[in-house]
Amino acid sequence: MGPVKQKDSKRGSSSGGAKKTKFTTKPYGKNSAKAPAAKNGKNSTKAAPPSKNDKNSAKNGKSPAAKGERAPTHGQKPKDGDLKAEARKLWEQLRRGDIDAEARRPLMASMMGLIGGRIKEVTLKHDMSRIVQTCIKYGSAEQRQVIASELQGAEVDLARSMYGRHILLRLLKHCPATRAPIMAALGGHVRKLVRHKEAALVVDECYSVYANAAQRWALAAEFYGGECAVMGGGVTSVDALLAERPQRRAGVVAALKQASAGLLEKGAVQHAVVHRVLLDLVRLSDGAEQRAAIESLHSLAVEMVHTRDGAHCAMLCLLHGSAKDRKALVRSFRPFVLKMARDEHAHAVLIGALDCVDDTVFAAKTLLADVCAAAADLLPDAYGRRVLLYALAGRSPHYVGADALAVLRAGDSVRAATSRKDPATRRAELAAAVAPALAEWAAGAAGAAVFEPLPSQAVLETLVRAPCDKRAAWAAVLALVAREIGPGHVLLHPVANRVVASCILAGHAPARAAAADAAPPFAGNPAFAADVLDALVEGGQLAAAAKAGAFPVRALLEVPATAERARQLLRPHAAEIAGSGNATADAIAALLK
């Protein structure tokens, strides 16, 4: 006989007025207000079955009613829930930006009284971490020190925490006294921390922003081997270490190779301390070890170029690499060329690539095409202009930074062995690649650009060194020269007059020793000096320019092509020029004697 099927209550009500049956899913407790009354109005004599919690409580000798009902004693810290609720209320007032320091002081005192002694417990929680950050931001030096002292010994755990790392970053920013202890606590753990997503940011902040030379070495030393990690004596770099113990070189290279293998495998090369390690690996290794290191950086070097050491490492990879290595590195740069060109350090890597790649057609298509297309945006930029102007002017110290220039000069012997193209030929081919784009830009922008400090240099270099037709750009400058002399005239403006004077002197003034690496002026340039003199004579502005002390007029008297003619035209006005009371005008008058 099978189980009896219960009829549905709705069908029962429609077929004969059967009573509805109410089912419960669990027994009622004895104290519940909803407990059903006993049959016939009398109390039931049958006790409710004990619950699982009652059984466990009976085993432990504690009743359910007594469990967790002890009232907090006087002075006892509130429970976590109460602590968070009270702290949030204070925080909502404390974090407001429209209250002054006096109004914030009692709020800080109340907050420190609330969370003091429990800071280490709450820093790893999202909401409480924000509260502690606010306390560090607005607290006094003593209050910040209290927070730091409670967190002492937990720096590594905090660095690994998604929320705790913000506490360390706030302490580093607002509490200088805690920087050295935090760095000391992280020391010895850096190799593991730089591979951790959260902790790597703390290590990078310490190393890049707040550490001095000794502290940076202390953070990086463990990558160089166990002996380096414990070695003191004022050593702040691997070069100083090897100067004292040259026999350690092979061991240091082996340690760097081992330490960098895991970083390269994981692709964890975004941080400055890792860039230092990889730079020293490429710099100190040689032969097969160096080639292996360069090959491993083919696709990763572009992630390192935003720091000084990373850019230096990438430049060495280009310099010491084979033609195949160089092309692989340059291809990895292509999607980021414009961003690299504007970067303080990365632009030097592009210059280094142009300085050693033999295939200038490939370099022009891969690197210079995008740069030339964005010339109008890059030339006013402090770093963006340098890549274009290097292609025209070569290793001029005006456009190549001292650090990059030192790397390029130090690598000349290596480049001679790894490159087949003559440097002068390479320079001429690069200049030819960028000249048309710069000449077109100068023709349209010269009228305004000559008055701006950075774009005016691009106009000058284009007029003097670009191997192409520049008559349109020079005509735009001459149109400014022919205007009536007055305030703001191109010959009197402190920036623009240098452009005109430098064009006049180009090819005649002796080259400076500092610019020995700079490219020479283009042989097919217009007759700058004669054109300026003709424009002033036709407009009747030569004497007025001399009286106003225009430096380009002095340049006309110094250049052999125009000196005699300008002297004859100005001698009738010598007395007026000498009496103008201008130092440059006095120098012009002296040249007329």
Helix or strand (DSSP H, E) at 227: helix 226-230
Buried (b) or exposed (e) across 154-183, using 16+ Cβ within 10 A?
bbbebbbbebbbbbbbbbbeebeebbeebb
pLDDT digits (tens, 9 = 90+) for 398-445: 999 999 999 999 999 999 998 889 999 999 999 999 999 999 999 999
Cβ neighbours of 97 (radius 10 Å): 4
CA neighbor of 442 nearest in space, from 379, 524, 534, 519: 379
pTM: 0.81
Residue type, 243: A
Separation between Cα atoms, residue 254 and residue 258, nearest integer Å: 6
Three-class SS state of 518: strand
Question: HEC states along 437-482?
Answer: HHHHHHHHHHHHHCCCHHHHHHHHHHHHHCCCCCHHHHHHHHHHHC
Separation between Cα atoms, residue 535 and residue 380, nearest integer Å: 29
- pLDDT recorded at residue 78: 57
CA 573, 577, 578, 584: dihedral to nearest 10 degrees? -140
Q: Which residue has the tokens 């070097």?
A: 301
Q: What is the torsional sign of CA 56, 61, 65, 66?
A: negative
| Paired tokens of 559 | 């250049």
Separation between Cα atoms, residue 508 and residue 561, nearest integer Å: 9
CA neighbor of 330 nearest in space, from 301, 308, 290, 304: 301
- pLDDT recorded at residue 122: 81
Residue 394's contacts (CB-CB under 8 Å, 6 or more residues apart) are 427, 517, 518, 519
Separation between Cα atoms, residue 302 and residue 311, nearest integer Å: 9
CA neighbor of 320 nearest in space, from 361, 366, 287: 287
Separation between Cα atoms, residue 180 and residue 393, nearest integer Å: 45
Separation between Cα atoms, residue 294 and residue 341, nearest integer Å: 22
- ∠ CA 152-155-157, rounded to 5°: 125
CA neighbor of 473 nearest in space, from 546, 340, 549, 375: 375
- pLDDT recorded at residue 546: 94
- pLDDT recorded at residue 37: 43
- pLDDT recorded at residue 437: 96
- Alpha carbon of residue 58 to chain centroid: 64
Three-class SS state of 394: strand
CA 586, 587, 591, 593: dihedral to nearest 10 degrees? 30
- ∠ CA 93-99-103, rounded to 5°: 80
Helices vs strands, H then E, count in the chain: 38, 0
Separation between Cα atoms, residue 164 and residue 124, nearest integer Å: 5
Output the tens digit of pLDDT for each of the chain's 593 residues. Answer: 444 444 444 444 444 444 443 333 344 344 444 444 444 444 444 444 555 444 444 444 444 444 444 444 444 555 666 788 888 899 999 998 888 889 999 999 999 999 888 888 888 778 889 999 999 999 999 999 999 999 999 999 999 999 999 999 999 999 999 999 999 999 999 999 999 999 999 999 999 999 999 999 999 999 998 777 666 567 888 998 888 888 989 999 999 999 999 899 888 899 999 999 999 999 999 999 999 999 999 999 999 999 999 999 999 999 999 999 999 999 999 999 999 999 999 999 999 999 999 999 999 999 999 999 999 999 999 999 999 999 999 999 999 999 999 999 999 999 999 888 999 999 999 999 999 999 999 999 999 999 999 999 999 999 999 999 999 999 999 999 999 999 999 999 999 999 999 999 987 765 443 455 778 888 888 899 999 999 999 999 999 999 999 999 999 999 999 999 999 999 999 999 988 888 999 999 999 98
Residue 506's contacts (CB-CB under 8 Å, 6 or more residues apart) are 464, 521, 525, 528
- pLDDT recorded at residue 389: 96
Tell me the longest C-alpha to C-alpha distance in the chain: 139
Three-class SS state of 34: coil
- Note whether 386 and 343 are within 8 A (CB): no
pLDDT digits (tens, 9 = 90+) for 193-210: 999 999 999 999 999 999
- pLDDT recorded at residue 580: 82
